[in-house]
């Protein structure tokens, strides 16, 4: 009978939009720790990052490390973030087709990166395609040749 009443109360709350909390309640701050007391590792790292001003750099590094989760496996297989400076993210693509695709998705990518890093952190996405190396000179050329006319002429 108690289970039926509980189920009925949950159904009534769902209709009103007042479902009970599913996550546990957080405890208060508790007693303050002295400076020499041991700290939780995560808290110590967070304090260190804040003291040194490395919070943004650590967040950007985290985004670069989770690139496939953020942009999806298809895009991540052909692109990789290279650098972040002054609100601009440089992304390297392995082909001109993927570079063009990233350029078309630039606004969406800026929005998604700002969701991860905080609004206004990323303002621009710059994309570099594959860089062709200069043609080798010297040993691979025959001196005195006249080009294709040597063979077919």
Report d(CA 28, CA 99) in Å as an integer. Answer: 50
**Which range has the top average pLDDT, 28-42, 80-94, 125-139?**
80-94
Q: What is the DSSP letter of 132?
A: P
Q: How many CB atoms lie within 10 A of CB 146?
A: 9
> What pLDDT, on the 0 to 100 scale, is given for residue 77?
93
User: Is the pLDDT confidence value at 56 over 80?
Assistant: no
Among 134, 148, 133, 70, smallest CA distance to 102 is for 70
Residue 3 burial (10 A CB sphere; 0-12, 13-18, 19+) = exposed
42 domain-assigned: no
Task: Give the number of domains in the chain.
Answer: 1
Confidence of residue 139 (pLDDT cuts 50, 70, 90): low
Paired tokens of 56: 């943004």
Helix/strand/coil for 2 = helix
User: Is the pLDDT confidence value at 52 over 60?
Assistant: yes
Q: Give percent of the chain above pLDDT 90.
A: 20
CA distances from 7 to 16, 22, 24, 141 (A): 14, 15, 20, 85
Residue 112's CATH number: 3.30.300.180
- 42 against 14, higher pLDDT: 42
Confidence of residue 147 (pLDDT cuts 50, 70, 90): low
80 domain-assigned: yes
Report d(CA 105, CA 109) in Å as an integer. Answer: 6
Chain-centroid distance of CA 46 in Å reads 20
Model pTM greater than 0.85? no
73-129 pLDDT, tens digit per residue, is: 999 999 999 888 888 999 999 988 999 999 999 999 999 888 888 888 888 999 998
58 domain-assigned: no
User: Is the pLDDT confidence value at 33 over 70?
Assistant: no
CB 91 within 8 A of CB 82: yes
Name the residue range of residue 98's domain.
73-129
134 domain-assigned: no
Place of tokens 């080798």: 136
């Amino acid at each position: 009978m108690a289970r039926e009443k509980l189920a009925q109360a949950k159904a009534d709350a769902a209709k009103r939009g007042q479902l009970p909390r599913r996550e546990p309640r957080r405890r208060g701050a508790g007693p303050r720790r002295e400076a020499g007391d041991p700290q939780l590792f995560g808290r110590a790292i967070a304090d260190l990052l804040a003291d040194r001003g490395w919070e943004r750099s650590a967040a950007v590094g985290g985004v670069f490390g989770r690139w496939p989760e953020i942009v999806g496996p298809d895009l991540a297989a052909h692109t990789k973030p290279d650098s972040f400076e002054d609100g601009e993210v440089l992304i390297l693509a392995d082909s001109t087709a993927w570079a063009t695709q990233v350029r078309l998705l630039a606004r969406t990518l800026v929005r998604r990166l700002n969701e991860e890093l905080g609004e206004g952190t990323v303002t621009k996405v710059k994309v570099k395609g594959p860089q062709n190396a200069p043609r080798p000179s010297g040993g691979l050329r025959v001196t005195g040749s006249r080009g294709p006319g040597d063979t077919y002429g």
